[in-house]
Structure 1
Amino acid sequence: MNYLQNYYNNIVKYDLINKFTYKNINNLPKFNAIVLSFNYKTNNLKQLISSLIALELIGEQKPIFTKSKVPVISLKIRKGNPIGCKLILRKNNLNNFLDKLLNEIFCDLKLAINSKHIIKNKFLPIFTLKLKNNLNFSILETHYQIFKNLSNLNIVFITNAKNVSEFIFLLKSYKIFK
């Protein structure tokens, strides 16, 4: 068992129960998915392939291409052309990536993450983050020549929290939010 899963089961759950009132233990907020994506405005095949390889190395899972839904004449993009790639992490891969993110990225950088990054969706709160320097991941840094032209890495945390206060408490318990 991953130590983050153990940390959630033994510490975060009890803190959530003490802080908020729940009638059912299955309603406790947790991370359902983390979505990683690279988006480009051009149809450059070399950038797309390098971003696809980077996502596979970071997430330890096979990513998929995202295709344009409408044609954009000013950018010379046709409908159906690949314009980026994304990766949806769940369960064990989610915990492994969260471990990498906490130990490699957040420990090195003093990020000032505040409530502006939290988006209140119709149904659930979502936390978005953009990493401008993707070479902070050690596996990408070793192959600098391949990954030097990557765009910003978009990271989206999706949970089942009912309101923003539960979601912020969950992020603070993982030391993501200050």
Structure 2
Amino acid sequence: MSVLEKTYRERIRPEMRAARGYANVNEVPRLEKVVINCCVGSAPDIKAALEEAMTDLAAITGQRPVKTKAKKSISNFKLRKGQEIGCKVTLRGRRMYEFVERLIWAALPRVRDFRGLSPHGFDKMGNYTFGIRDHTVFPEIEIENVKRMFGFDVTMVTTARSVEEARDLLARIGLPFAGMRREQRAATA
């Protein structure tokens, strides 16, 4: 069991249950899965770029990515329907918690000029999406072996029923949202 998962079960879940008045422990919002999506569709040598992205994404997540295909043709981008243009990984359970730990404690502090994650990345269902522009912020990537930089989107799917519940959960987990003071981050960590 990872440190974050243990912290969620022993500290965050009881705190949220008391603060929000949940009758049942299963009502408390939790992380369901984390989806990491990378698209290399505009690269000139798309097959080589896709293989590099898959290798690096596998190193970052510890799980083999799945290739994604274009849903429709776009002539301006030289895309054909069905062409492989990206890859994605869906993390659940132990690997999900370990990835979120590394994201919060190792990767995000290495982002240049980082001022926090946008608090506006929530959808109506309480899921949160943000982008990382440079994959080399993860300690698993050896910078001298990187031929090209790529970014990816991270979507955190929660069981929250509202944006407020999801924001509260993710802040307690330790995601550093922009506008949050250092004392608030320390209190939630």
TM superposition score normalised by structure 1: 0.90
* Counterpart residue type for residue 86 of structure 1: K
Q: 1:106-139: CA deviations, max 9, x gaps?
A: 334443223222222xxx1221111112111122
- Point out where structure 2 has 5 or more consecutive residues left out of the alignment: 181-189
Q: For residues 1-178 of structure 1, what are the structure 2 equivalents within 5 Å?
A: 1-42=1-42, 44-109=46-111, 110-120=114-124, 124-140=125-141, 142-145=142-145, 147-176=146-175, 177=177, 178=180
CA contact (8 A) 1:130 1:154 kept: yes
Name the SS of the counterpart of 2:77 in structure 1: coil
Higher mean C-alpha displacement, 153-162 vs 97-106: 97-106
- Over 3 Å counting, the alpha-carbon distance change for 1:75 and 1:108 in structure 2 is closer
Tell me the distance in 2 between the aligned counterparts of 1:36 and 1:28.
Answer: 24
**Unaligned 5+ runs, structure 1:** none
- TM-score in terms of structure 2 length: 0.85
Secondary structure of 2:123 counterpart = strand
Quick one: which amino acid aligns to residue 139 of structure 1? E
Deviations 1:27-66 (A, max 9, x none): 2101101111111233611110011011100110111000
Structure 1 segments of 4+ aligned residues over 6 angstroms from their partners = none
Matches of 2:154 and 2:162, distance apart in 1: 20
Count of residue pairs the alignment pairs up: 173
Q: Aligned letter for 1:95? A: Y
When the two chains are superposed, the root-mean-square deviation of aligned CA atoms in Å is 1.6
| 8 A Cα contact 2:107 2:139, kept in partner | no
Supply the AA of the counterpart residue of 2:122: I
Deviation at 1:167, TM superposition (A): 0.7
Question: How far, CA to CA, are the matches of 1:159 and 1:129 in structure 2?
Answer: 14
